Each structure stands twice: as C-alpha cells, then as structure tokens.
Structure 1
Amino acid sequence: MHRRLVGIALVVSSVTGLAGCGSSDSGGTEASSSAGGKTTRVTVGIIPIVDVAPLYLGQKQGFFADRGIDLKMVSAQGGAAIIPGVVSGQFQFGFSNTTSLMLAQTKGVPVKAVANGAASNGKVGADVTGVLVKKDSPLKSAKDLAGRTVAVNTLQNIGDTTVRETVRKAGGDPSKVKFVEIPFDQMPAALNDGRVDAAWMGEPARTIAEAQGARVIASPFAETDPALTVAAYFTSTKIAQQNPDLVKKFTEAMNASLEYASAHPDEARRILTTYTKIGGDVLDKLILPAWPTAVNRPSLEKLAELGEQDGVFGDKKPDIGALFS
C-alpha cells in the first residue's frame, strides 16, 4: 500500500532539492483571536510541486484569511504520508492524485475530496506530463512502447494506467509494456544513460529532459481524457461530518485560489520560487496544469475503470459519487 499511495503529486512533479518532509507539529485545528476576530489554524499536507501553486497564491491573496482560516502548509514526500496524516488528524486537509484517493477509499480509508487540485491542460504534445525518448530513439509513437521499458514514478498508479491507455489507443499492446519505478528527478539521466527506453515525466523533469534533446512521443493525461482531473484536495470523513462549516470555507477559498491561478499564470510561476528551487529557464519554460474549480466526473469514472482494468484496486470498485460528491 505504501507504494500505491505515493501521490500527484509526485505524479506531476518532483525535483532534486525540493523541500523535504516538513514540520512534525500537530495539525489539530486551533481557534485563536486576532484583530479581525477568531481564526482557525488549518494545516494542509502537500507535496511541494507545481500543482499546489494555487494554494500558495490563495494564501498570499488573503482568500483563506478572509474566511477566518490561518493556513499552514506542511511538506510531505507523498500520499503515503499525507493520506494517513489527514485521517489521523495531523492535517485537516491534504493534496493527492485522484488514483491514490480512489485506492485509499477501496482500502476502507475514510477520505473525501473537497476541492479540485489540478487537471490536464488537454494539449497533446504540450501537457503537464509526457512520455519522452532520446533524440535518436527509433520510438515514434505510443504504439512503439509495446515491448519496451518505460519509467514511471510510482507503479500501479495514475502514470502506468494512463500510459497503457495511450498505447492501447495508438494500436499497441499495453500488456507488453514493462514499467520500472524511478523518481521523476532521476528520469532525465536514466533516459540519457539508456537504462530505460522511455520515461513518463512530470514537470520540471520533462522540461529539463527536453532541454537535453529528449522528444515527447505521447501525452498520457491529455490522450486519456483532455479534461482529466488528476489531483484533488481532501479531508477525512470525520472532519467533513463534524465540521462542515470549516470544509465549506476551505473549499470556497480553494476555488477562489484556483480561479486566481488560472487567470494569473505568471504569478503562479513566480510563487513556485517561494516553495521550490525551480528557477531560471526551467521556470520560464515549464508547462502548467489546468486549474478548474470543478472536478470532471466523466474523466474520474474513466480513470476508475482503467484502474480496475489494470488491477490497481483489487476486487473493490471506487465509489466516485461518495468520494468526489
């Protein structure tokens, strides 16, 4: 379960030197007085990646403070730490890719999505993730991946599931693709060294690899569904039931943040420099995800079906309605 719950967010981005595990302070909600009245301390478990830029922008713009939320972000390595942290009460909210949330639900973990996190931008060839090969590779399309070794950051998750779908759509045999697990930040070197034939990369690894001459031959998110919801913010069912007003305020603030980030992409790029070490040409060139306020239900149903087909969820089917209502 540890490997399968590694989350976006590692699914979408990772880079050497990004903030590591954060504070071990308790994430319990605390009411405190301020000049504007009572505020509630809310801790959010996140992975310091491109996808969570709206959360930081929303804090900067005061969208959370305006609703009485004193926001604190705590960095974790992935969903394997964030999901249990939310359920235990260490965090009130967390960020994870949608396949990991579905998997947690099928395992009986009491979680509920409360706001959209990130989505595919729908651009084949220029999406937030892509399958890349070396410049001189004979591979030209997803169909050519059959019989080849492809790197993904986490096995049996959203990466290999969407890559298989892309191969299937291109007329190849997805069962013949061999997947190996490699962290995103190590993928450009693994590709250059010939340790893998192709690599499914998120940002900024994708931009770094392209600068070294790598080519994109497939865009698994966009080709699976151009409106694919790939990540979400979530809470425990306990908090959702016992503190619906807090959940409502967080969702409202998060939606305002997503709208602001969508309307101000340059600010979204700049905010990355405050919580990651991404900078220079990579910062200017990396591809941003889409940040709609609503999850795309049909895309989630499709992702669940693909996960079932791949055996990700065992013998249980995710309840999309309950998880993303």
Structure 2
Amino acid sequence: MVTRRSAIATAFAGVLAASLLSACGGSDSAAAAGEQVKELRYQGSVGAVTPAELADSLGYLGDVKLKWIGNTISGPQDIQAATTGDIDFGGAFNGAIVKLKASRAPITAVVGYYGSDKDSYIGYFVADNSPIKTARDLIGKKIGVNTLGAHSEAVIKTYLTRNGLTPEEIKQVELVVVPPVNTEQSLRQGQIDVGALSGVLRDKALERGGIRPLFTDFELLGAFTGGSYVLRNDFLKKNPDTARTFITGVAKAIEWSKTEPRETVIAKFTEIIKSRARNEDTSALKFWKSYGVTSKGGVIADSDFSVWIDWLNSTGELKKDDLKPADLYSNDYNGVTQ
C-alpha cells in the first residue's frame, strides 16, 4: 500500500534524479558558454500579480527579463519544477522547501515572497449553519486545500495537534485538493465541510456572506513569512549577478507594495494583468491588502524555517537534527537589508 508519505518521498526522489539530468540544460546553456542568464522562466498565478511580476513591471529587474511559461496553484510543484530546471525560480511554503531540501535537492531559499498578517491570512471557513465549532468536530470531515504537503496541511495539523487531537484522530480528518477558485463553491454546495480561503477569494466570499472562519493561520501562529522563492545552487554559482539583480528587485517590489497607497498598488496590479492579455478577471483585485511578508524586503530569518523543521521532526517526516535553518537559505543576494 502506498502511503501519502511514501508517495511524497518517491516524488522528491524523482525530482532529485531529474535535476541531475536537467540542471545543465535550459537557461544554464548561456552560463555554460561564459555568459550569465538574463531571462528567467517562471510560473504565475491566475488573476494575481506575484512579487517577481511586480518587480519586472516597476523596472527593478534591470536587464533581467521574465518569461512566463504557465500557471500553477501548487507551491511544491513550483519548486520541484525549479529543481529540475523546467523553470529558473519557484516559490513555495517554507515547510515544503524543508521537505524538498531534506531529499537532497540542490536548492536555496533566497527571498520571502508571501506570508500571513492581520490583513493577509489563510482562513479555514465553514458554512454559518455548520455544526463544526471546534477542532474535535473536524474528525471525519473534509477540508478543501489547494495542494497537499504544503502550507495549509501544516497549519491544519498544527491546529489539530495544539487542540489535543491524537495522531490517529488527525488521520481521520480528510484533506481534499480543490483549486482555490472553486473552494468557495465547493464549500457552499456541501462537497467539503471546510474550505481554505485567502486573499481576494476569501474577501469576495466573506462579502457574499453565509460563511464564518473556524480559525486562521494568523490567529494560530501570529504574523509570519510563510513562503520563499528558491533558486538552484548551480544557477546561483553560475549567475551571481543575475541572481542578485533578481532577488534585490523582488525585495524592492515587496517594499514598494508596503509603502505605496493601497489604491496605487491595486491600480498597478490591474495594469499588469490587463497588459499580459491572458483573459483574466481583475474585479477581485479591489480586495487585495498585502503580500503578508513580515520582514523588510523578504529577508529570511531562522525562525521562518525552524518552526516547520520542528513540526516535521515531531511528525517523524524528518530525521532529528537532519536539517538546520542555516542549511536552507541565504540572504547574500538580497540588496535590501533589515
């Protein structure tokens, strides 16, 4: 019988093997010829503007250009694609980065790009008339999340553990993958009992009414930077100037989003989405509040990873002392300092 843990381990092993075959391909062909790569391939998100895309539009990337190759709703998939060389940078929940790094993937987290605060958080919502009031009420219920093995799974299991559920009871809480754009509808139609909602999708759902939060990651953990962009180690070695330009540009874009009036940021997002002509709806942008990155310029701290290392150690998914926070990230390429 294939367990979720063994399936994840097998997938990560495949990623590592593939990375050894493909890391010298793609954009790194230019670096092999003695030139630093100036075009970075990446995956986006429907109806949203990532910090990297904002940096590009603001002119913070200098002579470095971005090449969009498609969209994703999965952070683990995104960083796996970066590891194999299918894209040049990817972003994911820091706990997913820990898992991938533990499988010996040759990647480094370089800048925080999303997080949770009082305005930008992931809420776990139920219908107003739902009998679910406590963590124990979730036993035997279905929770809709965007992907497995990432932010929501870690937060949900932390919530259940802190509220006294045993490992056996936690196994009875079913996590179901639902695309974020379908989560609200799935919740209202009773296909799931709880739905993870964040950002504009959360606020649009709240505006329509009829749902309430069971808990939020901000209530559970306080403000925290939840995810980071990663680059392959060989890319950093061969393209240090490009990496520094890109990472510093992303950091500056994050700070721009914090310091400019919210209306200005939303107007810029609307301009970016309309200009890329991907047939996306911009109406939800009016609900945007922040990227939720707690540090200045996405500078990474040990605490951004230590909480998830401790959690994965407690679940047995990591060997004790297998990884330390310093093994996972570098701020050396970030020109925006605390």
Q: Into which bin does the TM-score normalised by the smaller protein fall?
A: 0.7 to 0.9
Output the amino acid matched with 2:291: P
Structure 1 pair 233/299, CA: closer, same or farther in 2 (3 Å)?
A: closer
User: 1:268: which partner in 2?
Assistant: 265
Output the amino acid matched with 2:126: V
User: 1:61: which partner in 2?
Assistant: 58
Secondary structure at the counterpart of residue 223 of structure 2: coil
193-202 vs 84-93, which moves further: 84-93
188-197 vs 176-185, which moves further: 176-185
User: 1:70: which partner in 2?
Assistant: 65
Deviations along 1:5-57, one digit per CA (max 9) or x if unpaired, are 99xxxxxxxxxxxxxxxxxx9544759xxxxxx99522142331677532222
Contact 1:143–1:168 (Cα < 8 Å) also in 2:
no
Secondary structure at the counterpart of residue 152 of structure 2: helix
User: Are residue 290 (structure 1) and residue 292 (structure 2) matched?
Assistant: yes
1:302 corresponds to which of 282, 303, 307: 307
Structure 1 pair 307/270, CA: closer, same or farther in 2 (3 Å)?
A: farther
Unaligned segments of structure 2, at least 5 residues: 1-5, 12-24, 331-338
CA RMSD of aligned residues (A): 3.3
Structure 1 pair 28/75, CA: closer, same or farther in 2 (3 Å)?
A: farther
Name the CA distance, whole Å, in 2 between partners of 1:148 and 1:231.
27
Contact 1:45–1:85 (Cα < 8 Å) also in 2:
no
With structure 2 as the length reference, what TM-score do the two structures score?
0.74
User: 1:136: which partner in 2?
Assistant: 129
Name the CA distance, whole Å, in 2 between partners of 1:135 and 1:251.
43
Name the CA distance, whole Å, in 1 between partners of 2:258 and 2:47.
13
CA positional deviation for 1:178: 2.7
User: 1:217: which partner in 2?
Assistant: 214
User: Are residue 206 (structure 1) and residue 202 (structure 2) matched?
Assistant: yes
165-174 vs 97-106, which moves further: 165-174
Number of residue-to-residue matches in the alignment: 294
User: Are residue 48 (structure 1) and residue 51 (structure 2) matched?
Assistant: no
Contact 1:87–1:111 (Cα < 8 Å) also in 2:
yes
Deviations along 1:242-298, one digit per CA (max 9) or x if unpaired, are 332322222221211111112233343334443472432x32224533133222421
- How is 1:95-114 mapped onto 2 (pairs within 5 angstroms)? 95-114=91-110
Deviations along 1:143-202, one digit per CA (max 9) or x if unpaired, are 543443222222232212111222333455562533222222222122112222211223
User: Are residue 321 (structure 1) and residue 326 (structure 2) matched?
Assistant: yes
CA positional deviation for 1:141: 4.3
Contact 1:54–1:268 (Cα < 8 Å) also in 2:
no
Unaligned segments of structure 1, at least 5 residues: 7-24, 32-37
Name the CA distance, whole Å, in 2 between partners of 1:190 and 1:136.
15
